[in-house]
Each structure stands twice: as structure tokens, then as C-alpha cells.
Structure 1
Amino acid sequence: MHKKKQSHMKIQKEKFIQLIFIKQALQFGQFKLKSNRYSPYFFNSHCFYNGADILQIGEIYSDMIYASKVHIDVIFGPAYKGIPLATATVIALKNKYNLEVPYFFDRKEYKQYSDIGYIIGKKYNKKKIVIIDDVITSGKTIQKSNKIINILKNQNSISGIFFLFDREEFGTSNKYTAKKELQKKYNCPIISMISITDIIKYCTEHNIYPTDLSKIVKYYQQYKPSNKINT
């Protein structure tokens, strides 16, 4: 059974990488990131904008969550890109695994009337929260998400954080990868569908985007932790 799950996730990974290039979700150029780094590539999950795409993305997250066996009471999708991702995930969890999981998300601005506050959705007490986001770079977005969850108080906690794409860069400490920092801070699984290493391998094997790939490799060498023990 374990090998069957591994095989399924491998197939999902390959299909997702193909979808990335079909939808041109991996974009080349010069991009300033939230981490204030300048990158020669950008992973843009907004390119998965139609029904077929979002169905596949929802299944990817639901498969990762189900395979991880994390305790899940509710899903949180940080604004803005995390909102449709969380929505797609709860639909996929219901359709594929018959799991009825609620979700909630935040606003960027505080609302001062009607449903007052930052949070849209039910207020939860003593729940295990899974966070859904598209990409992990330095981990700043998730650290903000933890602050939002703390607004809810009442002993809610993070049981897992799931991403589509891991850039495998060091986090805010410049010592460990952002993934390792989040694991150490929140003591929960941090899982991504693919990483920049997977993209580099795929492009190399298929001999595509050689010029852009060389820039990506150079950038990756600059921002990955030099000591692999700390990754």
C-alpha cells in the first residue's frame, strides 16, 4: 500500500510539472519577491485559472493531505492566492475521500462593519488547522498566517502546511531553508508537491529553456543553504 501511494504521488508530480509548462506557470525574467530577492523565475499559480486546472490542483492538495495522515479539522487559505486553493482542496477532499472539511481565509484589510475583522469564516476553538499556500520562498507569508490564526486564540494550532512549489531557498535566518525553519518553529509537517530541484531535473532531461535554466541554477546556488545538513 505504501509503494502504491508513492507511485501515485510520483505520477501526480509528473502530471503537475507538465501542467506548469503547458500553462506557462513558470515565468522567466526578473522578479522582485516578497523576500526582497531578485529572481530569474517566478511561479505563478494564477495561471491555473479554469475549471480543469483547479480540479487538478485541488486533487493534488487533497492527495498530499490524505497521504500525510495529518490531523485536520479545518483548512486555512491565506489571502489572496490561498483562497481558491483552499476552496478547491475541500471540494476534492469531499469528492475523492469523502472527508467533510471546512475552510476559512483572511482579508488583507480589517473590516469594521457587519462581519467585523480579518477572518472570513467560522471562528474555531481548539482545532488542528492545515494551511494551504502556493509557494514557499522565505516563509514570511506563513509566519503572518500564524499571527492571523493567533487572532482566533482558543488554542488553535497548525497541524500541517502544504505548498505546490518549494523554491528551496534559505529562510529569514539565512541559515536553514524556509521549509526547515517552519518545521522547527511549528513542529508540524511541511510538504510540497514539487521543488525547484524537480524543475531543474525536468528541464535538463528534456533539454528545454537552457538559457533560463542556467540563470535559475546560478540563482539557486546563491540562495540555497551551503551546508546540506541544515536544509
Structure 2
Amino acid sequence: MSSQALDSAKVAFIEAAIEHGVLLFGNFTLKSGRQSPYFFNAGLLYSSSLLSTTAQAYAKILSSSRIPDFDVLFGPAYKGISLAAVSAVSLYQQTGKDIGYCYNRKEKKDHGEGGTMVGAPLKGRIVIIDDVLTSGKAIREAIDILKASPEAKLVGIVQLVDRQEKGQSGSGKSTVQEVEEEFGVPVEPIIGLDDIVKYLESSGKWEKELQEVRKYREEYGVQRS
């Protein structure tokens, strides 16, 4: 399988993530208690070059037919704030589409403009920008914020990585699949576990890591619908 089997934006994102230590291979304990052969640390997305690559990948998904038309990007605090901002800029640069972006404060501000929201008014068709869905707790908290705004309608969620593995509910479905079914909106990733496997296969440099990731996928993996 060649790297051409992957979208060029996905290849660029994976290569940048590996180069900057955002995507790591080894032995990692997840919050779920599982031992994972790879780990994605979105907290390391802080350099201008890496943010630019990430934003371009987000914008490509946001402008695709898989995400309905929307008015505002919502980036939940804290990691979602910068991701939503750079994605809005990149989307405009790529397509000329002028959209708003906003984010929430963790603590309510009682002076100045006050409130818990910053940026564009939270109304119209909203897409949430997220990093990695694990238990789904954080994304449900973000959706609760939207529910508190009667003029806001969630139409989609775009995340950095879909681990494509069974959730903790016992349903046999991934957290992404559970969220899609529960809220009736598409959840689209920049990359999924299958993309990581394809990249490792095509590179020819990660044979040991590839075998470990394949074994993990066989044990915990869920086929993306």
C-alpha cells in the first residue's frame, strides 16, 4: 500500500505530528486503563508550522461534503480555542468562506463584557472543533453549552484523531459512533487509526511499531462506518 492511498493533507499532518512528537509510538497507559502502542498529544500543537498544517487539514474537512453548511466554529476551552481560530482562518484562505468562531470560558467573567462566551454569537449552524474523543465526556459538555443557547443548532463535529476503538459503554461501538447516533450529526476526523496504519505500511520505517498497532487494532478496533 502506498502513501498515495492517503489524502495528501492526511500524510502531511501525520508526518508533521511524528516530527514534532505529537504522535508517539511506544507503550502508553490511556485514561481507560488500556495499554496503547501509540499516543496523540494535542497539547504539543503549539508551533506556527504545525498549527498551520493542522489548520489546513481541518479546513479541508470543513469544506468537504461530509460536513453540512455552517455559520460558526465553536472551540471548547482550552485546546479547542486555538484550533477553532486557526481553522477559521485557513478555511477562509482556502475557500473564501467567511465564518465566525467562538469559545467558552471555564470561569464566568463578572467584569467588562462579562459572561462565559467569547467571539461570535453562539447562534445559527454550529460545528464543534475538538481534538481526540476518548470517553465522550468533553464533547457532551460542549454540546450542553450549545443546548443552553436556543438559537444554536449543532450540525457537525470535526476532531483531530479517531482512535477507532471500542468505547467503555460495552456497546461494541466506538465513542465516535455513539456520539453520532446520540446527537444525529456527523463526527469527522482529520485522521483515524486506519490512516495511521496505512502511513506506517507505506513508509517502510516502522515495522515494529506497525505490528504493535495492528495487534492493538485487532483487539480493540472498530470499523468506521
Same fold (TM over 0.5): yes
Structure 2 residue aligned with 1:16, among 7, 13, 27? Answer: 13
RMSD across aligned positions (CA): 2.6
Q: What is the TM-score normalised by the length of structure 2?
A: 0.84
The match for 2:93 is 95
Cα distance between partner residues in 2 of 1:155 and 1:35: 35
1:82 pairs with 2:80: yes
1:39/1:109 CA distance change after superposition, 3 Å: farther
Q: 1:148 aligns with which of 139, 145, 150?
A: 145
Residue 110 of structure 1 corresponds to: 108
Residue equivalent to 1:193: 190
Give the match's secondary structure for 2:189.
strand
Q: CA deviation at 1:37?
A: 4.2
Deviation at 1:193, TM superposition (A): 1.7
Structure-2 residue corresponding to 1:206: 203
TM-superposed CA distance for 1:85, in Å, is: 0.8
Q: How many residues align?
A: 220
**Is contact 2:16-2:53 (8 Å) kept?**
no
CA deviations 1:95-121 (Å, max 9, x no partner) are 221111111112233334444443223
The answer for unaligned runs of 5 or more in structure 1 is 1-6
Residue 165 (structure 2) aligned to one of 150, 156, 169: 169
More helix per residue: 1
User: CA offset at residue 190 of structure 1?
Assistant: 1.3
Q: Is the 8 A contact 1:138 1:169 kept in 2?
A: no
Is 1:217 the counterpart of 2:217? The answer is no
Gap runs ≥5 in structure 2: none
Q: Deviations over 1:192-230 (max 9, x none)?
A: 1211122123223333344444443333333334xx5x9
Secondary structure of 2:49's aligned partner: helix
Instruction: Report the AA paired with residue 38 of structure 2.
Output: Y
2:132 is matched with which residue? 135
State percent identity of aligned pairs.
Answer: 33
Is the Cα–Cα contact under 8 Å of residues 14 and 23 in structure 2 kept in the other structure? no
Higher relative contact order (CA 8 A, sep 6+): 2
TM-superposition CA deviations, 1:73-131 (whole Å, max 9, x none): 10011122111110111111222211111111122333344444432234433x11001
1:120 is aligned to: 118
Offset at residue 156 of structure 1 (A) = 1.4
